[in-house]
Amino acid sequence: MRDLTLEHLRIAYGEKTVLGPLDAVFEPHCLHVLAGPNGAGKSTLLRHLSGVLPKQSGMVRLHGKALDQFSRLEKAKEIAYFAQERELVWPLSVREVVMLGRHPHGTSLETATSVDEQAVDEAIEATAISDWADRLVTELSGGERARVLLARALATGATWLLLDEPVAGLDPRQQFLVMAMLQDQVRQGRTVLVVLHDLALAARFADRILLLHQGLAVAHGPVQTVLTQQSLADVFGLAASMSPEANGYNLQIHGVMPCNFR
Amino acid sequence: MRARSITQARLRKVVVILLVLLAMVSLASLLIGEAGLSLSDSLKGLFHHEGVAGLIIYEIRLPRTVLALLVGAVLGLSGAALQALLRNPLADASIFGAPQSAAFGAVAVLYTGLAGALSWALPLAAMAMAMLSLWLLLLLAGQRAQVFVLLLAGLAVGSLAGAATSILIALSPNPFAITEIVFWLMGSFENRSMQHVILAAPFIMLAMGLLLAQGNAYRALALGEETAVSLGVDLDAVRHVTLLAVALGVGASVAVAGAIGFIGLAAPQIMRRFLSSDPKQILWPSALTGALLLALADVAVRLIPAQSEIKVGALTALLGAPLYLLAVWRETGQGRQP
């Protein structure tokens, strides 16, 4: 029972249902990719799971226990969230920002224990940012900043990492680096739910893909069963195919479907 | 660890400097005044608590000094808290029209004969109006409003409250209407007594306690609201407590000293420049800086030769407004860091 289960989850903005009803099980120790076109409800799902958005109805269970039953801080210790908005207003040092990840443990800069320092050190090491630990976050490039925020999420010690487009706006090398870091975290026992727009990246790194379309799940499972020619055409309007290769799958886009394909 | 000890050392240094300056300004505030006591008489009065000099210092100058320090501290802290909450260095209660609204609240109970000048009704009404104006502002502009929208709405709220205040005073049967209007809208510590200190101090202390307790949440908010929530911050509670505390602090201050602007804007700006940008770390130092600035301004208005004493709020606005424009220019002209 170490998984995250959605039971008839429905999320609405006012009257308009934007997600669900959705049933899904996220197994632990996997890299789950949430894929789908804009407005499919991917970010909405992550924002609910991280406590930002309330749900309309349904149930989410984490490790068998209803998510509503967790206190704010308990939940924050289990689920870390890398938001789409990568806001860093004040010029704090990289290390100070990573230390903010210890907030759920009641820790602040002034009260950090050796446990906190160790968690921060490990997060900084895992994201390979130790060279800039004393720099100000406002002076970093987009890729560097994304890694600092990833380190911040890791420092919480949460086993569930929820990331909303962590590679958006990064160059290909940085995208690959961040995804490889996530894969590494999964090997170390964490579970990752990541929203990706780049299907090639998703095919390359995902253990499971949840394909969402207009708030509903189209498919959920291993890459080859989800990203089929049929689903790529139906959901994304792409004429594309997948071929297995050494480190995952290779996605080839041959063209787009005619504009009236639906 | 190393970086942390450096910032801690710098924090200590800045706080010590601020405390020394505060002691110096407070002493100056006790020794300077229109009574024209000589320095030796003033010192004698201060340390032996006797004679006319003692009376002047303890009955007139001490309450004035204590009030300036208290009001300055809570205004400086309020500014730091609002800037942390809204994550914008241009935020401040005075920019949002809260002091003017508080002045209207105080004037409304005072000049309609509902309460005397030393009644608890005065700070309560001022706090209620400050609260109302801040709520109204956030309600109209929305929780996620750009600060510039809040500024414009605040300008309207402030103007409205200021106009209502002056009309209300002018309509009352009051031979000193003009002076009174200037007092409420510009603020002053002239002729304050220990009664005024007693009236304002409890609310100011409460406000400061509430704001100082939000430090970790303000720091987490540096990552944005969604991330702060995911870290377990109760965003609604932080918002409500901050607004409540700012309304208490500003309302209580205005009830005894009138509307004084720009302290809450300047204090955190100065601390960010000389200390750090850490929203939690600058809370206390911003309070100390606010106290220092306002006490200093209150000494300055006694030294500037003028027919009648210049209102301290006029001086803070005179010095604060250009600083604000400079901050606006920095935020927009050069563009913020992406």
> Residue B1: is its pLDDT beyond 60?
no
* Cα-based distances in Å from B255 to B115, B117, B199, B200: 12, 9, 9, 8
Radius of gyration of chain A (CA): 19
Q: Is A139 part of a structural domain of the chain? A: yes
DSSP secondary structure string for all residues of A54-80: --SEEEEEETTEEGGGS-HHHHHHHEE
With beta carbons less than 8 A apart as the criterion, state whether B62 and B69 touch.
no
* Cα-based distances in Å from B105 to A135, B124, B131, B274, B338: 48, 8, 10, 37, 41
Q: How many CB atoms lie within 10 A of CB B176?
A: 10
Q: What tens digit of pLDDT does each residue of A108-132 get? A: 878 888 999 999 999 999 999 999 9
Q: What tens digit of pLDDT does each residue of B111-140 get? A: 887 777 778 888 999 999 999 999 888 887
Alpha carbons B33 and A261: distance in angstroms, whole number: 85
A216 — phi, psi (to 5°)? -120, 155
What's the mean pLDDT in A210-235? 92
* Cα-based distances in Å from B252 to A157, B68, B122, B195, B260: 44, 12, 8, 13, 12
Contact A149 B226 (CB under 8 A): no
Relative to beta strand A208-213, strand A65-66 is unpaired
Tokens of B198: 């007693």
Provide, as residue numbers in chain B, all residues whose Cβ is less than 8 Å from the Cβ of A81. Answer: 226-227, 230
Distance from CA of B158 to the nearest CA of A (A): 28
Tokens of B139: 């309600």
Q: What tens digit of pLDDT does each residue of B282-297 get? A: 999 999 999 999 999 9
**DSSP-derived 3-state class of residue B121:** helix
Q: Is A184 part of a structural domain of the chain? A: yes
Alpha carbons A239 and A254: distance in angstroms, whole number: 5
Q: B334 — contact with chain A (CB < 8 Å)?
A: no
Contact A50 B226 (CB under 8 A): yes
Look at chain A and report how many structural domains it folds into.
Answer: 1
Q: What tens digit of pLDDT does each residue of A181-198 get? A: 999 999 999 999 999 999
Q: Is A261 part of a structural domain of the chain? A: no
Contact A108 B219 (CB under 8 A): yes
Distance from CA of A108 to the nearest CA of B (A): 7
Q: Residue A106 sits in a domain of what CATH number? A: 3.40.50.300
Contact A76 B232 (CB under 8 A): yes
Q: What is the pLDDT of residue B145?
A: 66
> Residue A258: is its pLDDT beyond 80?
no
What's the mean pLDDT in A9-17? 90
Distance from CA of B235 to the nearest CA of A (A): 10
Q: Is A109 part of a structural domain of the chain? A: yes
Q: What is the pLDDT of residue A163?
A: 97
> Residue B306: is its pLDDT beyond 60?
yes
Within the 94-113 window of chain A, which residues sit less than 8 Å (CB to CB) from chain B? 95-97, 100-101, 103-104, 108-109, 112
Residue that the structure tokens 């208490």 belong to: B248
B72 — pLDDT class (breaks 50, 70, 90): very high
CB contact set of B36 (below 8 Å; sequence gap of 6+): none
Q: A166 — contact with chain B (CB < 8 Å)?
A: no
Q: What is the pLDDT of residue B325?
A: 85
Q: What is the pLDDT of residue B191?
A: 87
Q: What is the percentage of chain A residues whose pLDDT exceeds 70? A: 98
Q: Which domain holds residue A136?
A: 4-256
Mean pLDDT, chain B, whole residue set: 88
> Residue B2: is its pLDDT beyond 90?
no
Q: What tens digit of pLDDT does each residue of B5-61 get? A: 677 889 999 999 999 999 999 999 998 887 777 778 888 887 887 778 888 888 889
Provide, as residue numbers in chain B, all residues whose Cβ is less than 8 Å from the Cβ of A90. Answer: 87, 222, 277-279
**DSSP-derived 3-state class of residue A238:** strand
Q: Is A105 part of a structural domain of the chain? A: yes
Q: What is the pLDDT of residue B144?
A: 66
Q: What tens digit of pLDDT does each residue of A130-151 get? A: 999 889 999 998 889 999 999 9
B280 — phi, psi (to 5°)? -80, -45
Q: What tens digit of pLDDT does each residue of A51-104 get? A: 999 999 999 999 999 999 999 999 999 999 999 988 888 999 999 999 999 999
Q: What is the pLDDT of residue B48?
A: 80
> Residue B337: is its pLDDT beyond 50?
no
> Residue A247: is its pLDDT beyond 80?
no
Q: Is A262 part of a structural domain of the chain? A: no
Distance from CA of B5 to the nearest CA of A (A): 10
Q: A90 — contact with chain B (CB < 8 Å)?
A: yes
What's the mean pLDDT in B294-306? 91
**Domains observed in chain B:** 2-332 (1.10.3470.10)
Alpha carbons A173 and B214: distance in angstroms, whole number: 40
Q: What is the pLDDT of residue A243?
A: 84
Mutation target to probe the A interface, by most A beta carbons within 10 A, among B226, B269, B284, B286 is B226
Q: What is the pLDDT of residue A259?
A: 63
Where does chain A have alpha helices with state H?
Answer: 42-49, 72-78, 94-99, 114-126, 142-155, 172-187, 199-205, 223-226, 229-231
Contact B230 A96 (CB under 8 A): no
Nearest residue in B to A83, CA atom: B227
Residue type at B232? G
Q: Cis ω on the peptide bond leading into residue B175 (within 30° of 0)?
A: no
Q: A149 — contact with chain B (CB < 8 Å)?
A: yes
B143 — pLDDT class (breaks 50, 70, 90): low
Candidates A204, A144, A148; CA nearest to A169 is A144
Residue that the structure tokens 């006319």 belong to: B52
Provide, as residue numbers in chain B, all residues whose Cβ is less than 8 Å from the Cβ of A46. Answer: none
Helix or strand holding residue A22 (H, E): strand A16-26
Q: How many CB atoms lie within 10 A of CB A21?
A: 17
Q: B44 — contact with chain A (CB < 8 Å)?
A: no
A261 — pLDDT class (breaks 50, 70, 90): low
Q: What tens digit of pLDDT does each residue of B78-89 get? A: 999 999 998 888
Alpha carbons A251 and A197: distance in angstroms, whole number: 13
What's the mean pLDDT in B168-186? 81
Q: How many CB atoms lie within 10 A of CB A127?
A: 25
User: Between A and B, how many residue pairs show a Cβ–Cβ distance under 8 A?
Assistant: 93
Give me the residue from A76, A90, A101 closest to B277, CB to CB.
A90
Q: What is the pLDDT of residue B335?
A: 45
Distance from CA of B281 to the nearest CA of A (A): 10
Structure ipTM: 0.92
> Residue B338: is its pLDDT beyond 90?
no
Tokens of B107: 């004037």
CA angle A176, A178, A183 (to 5 degrees): 90
Q: A191 — contact with chain B (CB < 8 Å)?
A: no
SS3 of A35-57: ECCCCCCHHHHHHHHCCCCCCCE
Mutation target to probe the A interface, by most A beta carbons within 10 A, among B6, B212, B227, B233 is B227
Contact B3 A93 (CB under 8 A): yes
Nearest residue in A to B273, CA atom: A91
